[in-house]
């Protein structure tokens, strides 16, 4: 898995290995979009209702007792109900389809009611600018990134307007009010069928264009969600910075590519773990490792460290290797100080629970390292290579013979001070003979 690049991981997701999780992520976005649609529609109906309430009236009847007022009231209640329901359950497809049809039906009913409200011929409502709200409602459906609801809204609107036109023509068989004169159409209640068909065609064309655009946008959305899921998957195995390198790379990661860095290397280890593991139940052993790593790893990451690998009970972390940093030394030293405090707190918890304390050792060395991908084309691993890596591991092992818990080289310490490391307490400093190192090493004791 570590050898896969962004395209391979995306392909795996596209093949359905995590299709359920991907679809669930998309559905959550759609749920949020449906609430946004409902809130927007509520704003539309409130705006329309406010404008209607303050507009001059030709009747002494209360605004909300008129056909227009009652239609607005029904639509308001329906929208509020939909908002309430969307926060309680995931709205099923059939309900969404009914909502789309209901939206358009209520809008067409509102337009139809104008000629009753103002005591005018039915053709009066065909010139109502309220028809423009159709395009708002169609566009709102695009927020779900599902073309079928846009198509349903557009077709329903077109059929609704066609029904209103037919109603005008058929309501009075003796006077269909149809004209072929454009001026007459614009200056009277006459009906110009071509103009009405233009409106229907416009509705359908806008609908189709939006639906096609949505299909394309949907693919981009799915690709984005898949890449996000792939990045999250990688982040469980790599640091976020390495995951970003893989998923954000413009080319396939290849073995043999490396970069030189000035970095600090931290090794953390449970003392006597091999002997301890031989006396523990497998489940208890894994739980111990989980408790240990769940305390150590967040501290390392908090101070800008990247987990290079887990080696049983060992943790190899880097500071300034994945990404260049001018604070690699101070970050590593601050991490060690907090790791010691966290280890002490953990042992207090264990003693309170009647368990033996766990002795944890750690060490830091710094210098020039090479960071890059190693392995072959089928399996790659990002890692660090260099003398500081080996020295850090040997220093950590030296903790046992030195009777210490945290050792760092004087080089790291001096760099840390130059980078702003605050001295919490005087530190012991001495030349130590480290097994496997040719000459004595100038070492600072951070914790005993």
Helices (H) and strands (E) in the chain, counts: 14, 8
DSSP conformation letters of 25-92? HHHHHHHHHHHHHHHHHHHHHHHHHHHHHHS--SSSS-GGGSHHHHHHHHHHHHHHHHHHHHTTSPPP
Q: How far apart are CA 161 and CA 396, in angstroms?
A: 80
344: left (phi over 0), alpha (psi -120 to 50) or beta: alpha
**Phi first, then psi: what are they for 206, rounded to 5°?**
-60, -40
Per-residue pLDDT of the chain (448 residues; tens, 9 = 90+): 444 444 444 444 444 444 676 677 777 777 888 888 888 888 888 887 887 777 666 555 555 667 777 888 888 888 899 889 888 888 888 888 998 998 898 889 888 888 887 788 888 889 888 899 899 989 988 888 888 999 999 999 999 999 999 999 888 777 777 888 888 888 888 888 899 999 999 999 999 999 999 888 877 777 776 766 665 666 565 566 666 665 555 555 566 678 899 999 999 999 988 888 888 899 989 999 999 999 999 999 999 999 988 888 999 999 999 889 999 999 999 999 999 999 999 999 999 999 999 999 999 999 999 988 887 777 777 789 999 999 999 999 999 999 999 999 999 999 999 999 987 566 789 999 999 999 999 999 999 8
| Phi, psi angle pair for 166, to nearest 5° | -60, -40
Q: Residues 6 or more apart from 90 whose CB is under 8 A from it? A: 27, 31
pLDDT, tens digit (0-9, with 9 covering 90-100), for 357-384 = 999 999 999 999 998 888 777 777 778 9
Whole-angstrom distance, CA of residue 252 vs CA of residue 230? 15
CA atoms within 13 Å, Cβ hemisphere of 72: 20
Contacts of 342 (CB under 8 A, 6+ apart): 295, 296, 299
Q: Is the dihedral of CA 383, 386, 388, 394 positive or negative?
A: positive
Looking at the structure, give the CATH architecture of the domain made up of residues 254-447: 2-Layer Sandwich (3.30)
Q: pLDDT for 53-73, tens place per residue?
A: 776 665 555 556 677 778 888
Cβ count within 10 A of residue 129: 7
Identify the pLDDT of residue 159: 96
Q: Where are the domains of the chain?
A: 6-234, 254-447
For position 1, what pLDDT does the model report? 40
Question: What local confidence, expressed as pLDDT, does residue 411 receive?
Answer: 95
CA distances from 434 to 248, 363, 364, 396 (A): 41, 12, 14, 10
Residues 162, 200 contacting (CB under 8 angstroms) = yes
What is the structure's pLDDT at 3? 42
């Amino acid at each position: 898995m570590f050898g896969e690049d962004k395209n391979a991981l995306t392909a795996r997701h596209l093949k359905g290995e995590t299709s359920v999780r991907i679809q669930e992520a998309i559905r959550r976005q759609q749920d949020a979009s449906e609430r946004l649609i409902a809130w927007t529609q509520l704003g539309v109906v409130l705006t329309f209702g406010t404008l209607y309430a303050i507009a001059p009236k030709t009747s002494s009847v209360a605004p909300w007792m008129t056909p227009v007022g009652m239609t607005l009231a029904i639509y308001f209640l329906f929208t509020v109900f939909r908002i309430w329901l969307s926060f309680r359950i995931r709205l099923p497809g059939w309900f969404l389809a009914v909502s789309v049809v209901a939206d358009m039906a209520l809008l067409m009913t509102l337009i139809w009611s104008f000629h009753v409200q103002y005591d005018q011929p039915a053709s009066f409502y065909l010139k109502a600018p309220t028809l423009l709200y159709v395009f708002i409602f169609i566009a709102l459906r695009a927020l779900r990134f599902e073309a079928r609801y846009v198509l349903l809204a557009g077709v329903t609107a077109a059929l609704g307007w066609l029904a209103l036109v037919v109603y005008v023509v058929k309501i009075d068989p003796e006077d269909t009010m149809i004209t072929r004169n454009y001026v007459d159409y614009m200056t009277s209640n006459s009906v110009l069928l071509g103009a009405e068909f233009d409106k229907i065609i416009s509705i359908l064309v806008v609908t189709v264009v939006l639906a096609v655009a949505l299909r394309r946008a949907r693919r981009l959305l799915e690709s984005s969600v898949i890449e996000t899921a792939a990045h999250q998957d990688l982040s469980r195995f790599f640091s976020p910075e390495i995951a970003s390198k893989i998923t954000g790379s413009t080319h396939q990661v290849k073995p043999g590519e490396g970069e030189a860095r000035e970095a600090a290397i931290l090794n953390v280890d449970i003392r006597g773990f091999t002997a301890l593991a031989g006396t523990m139940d497998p489940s208890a052993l894994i739980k111990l490792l989980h408790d240990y790593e769940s305390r150590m790893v967040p501290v390392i990451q908090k101070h800008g460290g990247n987990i290079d690998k887990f080696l049983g009970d060992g943790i190899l972390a880097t500071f300034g290797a994945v990404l260049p940093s001018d604070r690699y030394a101070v970050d590593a030293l601050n991490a060690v100080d907090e790791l010691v405090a966290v280890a002490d707190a953990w042992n207090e918890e264990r003693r309170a629970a009647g368990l033996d304390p766990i002795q944890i050792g750690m060490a830091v060395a710094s210098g020039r390292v090479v960071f890059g991908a190693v392995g072959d084309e089928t399996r790659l691993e990002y890692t660090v290579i260099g003398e500081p890596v080996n020295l850090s591991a040997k220093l950590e092992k030296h903790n046992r013979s030195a009777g210490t818990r945290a050792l760092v080289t004087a080089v790291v310490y001096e760099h840390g001070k130059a980078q702003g490391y605050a001295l919490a307490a005087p530190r012991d400093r001495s030349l130590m003979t480290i097994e496997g190192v040719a000459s004595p090493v100038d070492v600072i004791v951070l914790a005993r």
